[in-house]
Amino acid sequence: VVVTSDAVDRILEQWAQVDPDLDVTPMAIIGRVSRLSRIVDRRLSENFAEHGIDDWMYDVLATLYRSGPPWELSPTKLVEHTMVTTGAMTNRIDRLTDRGFVVRRHDTDDRRRIVVALTTSGRTLVERVAPGHYRYEADLLNALSTSERIHLEKALRVLLIRLGDTPFRD
Amino acid sequence: VVVTSDAVDRILEQWAQVDPDLDVTPMAIIGRVSRLSRIVDRRLSENFAEHGIDDWMYDVLATLYRSGPPWELSPTKLVEHTMVTTGAMTNRIDRLTDRGFVVRRHDTDDRRRIVVALTTSGRTLVERVAPGHYRYEADLLNALSTSERIHLEKALRVLLIRLGDTPFRD
DNA sequence: AAAGATTGACAGTTCAATCTTA
DNA sequence: TAAGATTGAACTGTCAATCTTT
């Protein structure tokens, strides 16, 4: 049997029954984005767990990694990339330090500043986890044709730009 | 100035510089879904806050509301709809009870079962919040043409079905 | 046993207040 | 004063254990 409707279709039906005058159609997109994000997050977490890490760890470590040599950023920069508050970032850095994936260094010029640097162990971890991670993501997307993927990507970019998610400075 | 790239484009660029052989293109979609979901959630929260509620409250109350008369569901049913665990749901019901939006009733036939019922106050709240909520969502989507919206919706549905997010039973 | 709901320990986040340095 | 980072309280989530009823 081929499934042609998802959970959001069912929810839209319910609204149509209960309040036909209310226009809930935006949910067809917004609701799906929300559900998809959560479901994908869960799947990816399982993958990370097999490598002994949590998803938020990859979030930080990969951000440092792709910043390139010398693989270090201030907590403030990390916050800009990762969409969490500075308080959360302090906690994340603590945990990553405990695990030996990063080290804190004081900036010699401005002693208010801290630099978070990837250790060799942290760099190795990203290199070990990343390929499988993106392969797994690619696998989730193989239900879409190339053309569908291009359209989807474009539409999502439009929405993100409209919401002000513009590129950060280095 | 017209912005033509978003934060994810920048991240893809960084990866290309650091590791050109790694195929990170799935992130063009998965990463955007994740960011979009978080950003939208935040915006919608502001809207809910103006009505004095948290987003998870609307999540539960709207689920009860759209189930139609007599506006009641068991905690287990609520869990199936809202993508949280039973422990979280018990807590949510406690809070909503404190606020007077729902009441717990024991099932007379099977005393293991509880029914969560929307109060008049809870129903009124949904009726007051819902229209503005969906209008706000619609506003976020007005950057897309009708055709783009249809394609986007279809692609998201395909992904959700592929991930097993099929309709629940009543 | 198994189903349904609750509990309590733990983790991670936000937010406002605080500390240090510029 | 302001910038950058940290702290601690409050909140919400997960997960495993537990309690009650079937």
Residues in B touching A65 (Cβ below 8 Å): 18
Residues in A touching B38 (Cβ below 8 Å): 37, 83
Whether pLDDT at A170 is above 80: no
Q: pLDDT category, A1, cuts 50, 70, 90?
A: confident
Q: Which of residues 75-134 of A touch strand D (CB under 7 A)?
A: 75-76, 86-87, 89-91, 93-94, 104, 112-114
Cα–Cα dist A46/A126, whole Å? 16
Q: Give the total residue count for chain B.
A: 170
Find, among B6, B99, B23, B4, the residue nearest to B56 by Cα.
B99
* Phi, psi angles (nearest 5°) of residue A169: -90, 160
Is A114 (CB) below 7 Å from strand C? no
Measured to protein CB atoms, the chain D nucleotides within 7 Å are 3-9, 11-16, 20-22
B40-47 long-range contacts (CB < 8 A, ≥24 apart) are: B40/A30, B40/A33, B40/A34, B40/A163, B40/B140, B41/A34, B43/A163, B43/B136, B43/B140, B44/B133, B44/B136, B44/B137, B47/B132, B47/B133, B47/B136
User: What's the CA B60/C1' D13 distance, rounded, in angstroms?
Assistant: 15
Which letter, b or e, does each residue of A82-107 get, where b requires 16 or more Cβ atoms within 10 Å of its Cβ? bebeeeebeebbeebeebebbeeeee
Taking a C-beta distance cutoff of 8 angstroms, is the pair A132, A47 a contact? yes
User: pLDDT tens digits for A113-150?
Assistant: 999 999 999 999 999 999 999 999 999 999 999 999 99
Q: What is the pLDDT of residue A85?
A: 98
Residue of B nearest to A82 (CA): B35
Q: How far apart are the first and last CA of chain A?
A: 50
User: pLDDT tens digits for A55-71?
Assistant: 999 999 999 999 999 99
Residue from A9, A137, A142 whose CB has the most chain B CBs within 10 Å, to mutate:
A137
User: pLDDT tens digits for A3-40?
Assistant: 999 999 999 999 999 999 999 999 999 999 999 999 99
Least CB–CB distance from B166: residue in A7, A38, A156: A7
The Cβ of residue B101 has, within 10 Å, a number of other Cβ atoms equal to 23
Residues in A touching B4 (Cβ below 8 Å): 161
The answer to whether the Cβ–Cβ distance between A160 and B7 falls below 8 Å is: yes
> Residue ranges of chain B with pLDDT lower than 70?
170
Q: What is the pLDDT of residue B170?
A: 67
Question: Parallel, antiparallel, or unpaired for β A102-106 and B114-118?
Answer: unpaired
The answer to whether the Cβ–Cβ distance between B32 and A134 falls below 8 Å is: no
The answer to whether the Cβ–Cβ distance between B140 and A163 falls below 8 Å is: yes
Q: What is the pLDDT of residue B168?
A: 77
User: What's the CA A33/C1' D8 distance, rounded, in angstroms?
Assistant: 34
The answer to whether the Cβ–Cβ distance between B40 and A34 falls below 8 Å is: yes
User: pLDDT tens digits for B103-147?
Assistant: 999 999 999 999 999 999 999 999 999 999 999 999 999 999 999
Is B93 (CB) below 7 Å from strand D? no
